[in-house]
Structure 1
Amino acid sequence: MKKRSRIRETAAVVAASAVALVAVQGSSAAAGGGESPTVCVGTRPVGSLPGPEPSLFRVLAYIEKRGETRYRSVFTGLSVDEDRRTADVYRIPSRAFDADICAHAEKGVRVRVHDTDVTARRLDALVERIGGDDMSRWDDRFDLRSVGPDPSGFVHIGVDDPATADLIIKKALGKFWAKHIRVEYEGSASLV
């Protein structure tokens, strides 16, 4: 009997969070799409998630764990705005994921949910294609200095000649990936 009651309570919290999530809208523009992110404000008691760290970091840990396990097919990434006690979550739209993370946000923590069209796993695969074992394929055309995923749904590429590199990389990777690549100038590494 206790187990059934707990399941109903959890379902009620998730359902209420989904309603709250739809009702509260943010005012800042989402990365890439220009749309406002969906925002939910934590209602769960402070300290209800495990861990000794502040509530914002407990919520971030929960979101990251869920995003990398149960919701890996939609999770893109996560960033934090400590001053505003806000977690920015980037994901392929998923009502279930949104309801889950909003239901677990502790009081005083805001969660802004942004739409993307790519997962973290696909971004990691793109990073590997650009800067992995075959990194030398860019030699004599430009100097690849850094490559890494950005949680908002693109791969940042640092090079010596952005105009040349942008054309070459986007042509090599195809039309779909072009919108997920940001090529920027990056100075060479130096010892301080």
Structure 2
Amino acid sequence: MIDLRRLHVLRAVAHYGTVTAAARALHFTPSAASQQIRQLARDLGVDLLEPQGRGVRLSPAAESLLAHADAIETRWEQAELDLRADHGAPTGLLRVTGFPVAISVLLAPMAARLGARHPRLTVRILETEVSKSFDLLFEGATDLAIVEATPLNPPLSDARFDQQPLLDDPFDLVVPEGHPLAGRERAGLEE
């Protein structure tokens, strides 16, 4: 049987690129993280890491396992939610992250409404950068993140995250009178 904690360590290596970085993110020592991966490999009877220069890379078996890992983790999380369901009002801690504007415009009002409707629910808001928000989600240190779309974000197809567009934020172009784009209703960003 697969130990989901060990599988999470392997997913962290894939996410962060090295055992050391994965260990740091998961608050393990590199030795402990390596040990978890070695034990998972023994449990499955396959090699999960292969030497590559001074580091390691995921083996084909590890890549195959991780292709199933997201589905496994999603089902496990749903099972935990079902078991903990209060059959009523939400309770516990909801951890959310966002950038400053998202906090003031979206998250703070959401926290106030949730607090009024569900007194047994605590909402904790943390201001973070976009890249850190994805790391916190991956590590399980936050439950929800409001991020700006950037080219550096994981693609919407990345199964590790359920990304949903929330709103469009149009930009206004301000140019001096007489500028070639002055008077136009729209301009492409490349212009």
Give the TM-score of the pair, scaled to structure 2: 0.23
User: Which structure features the higher share of helix residues?
Assistant: 2
Higher RCO (Cα < 8 Å, 6 or more apart): 1
Give the TM-score of the pair, scaled to structure 1: 0.23
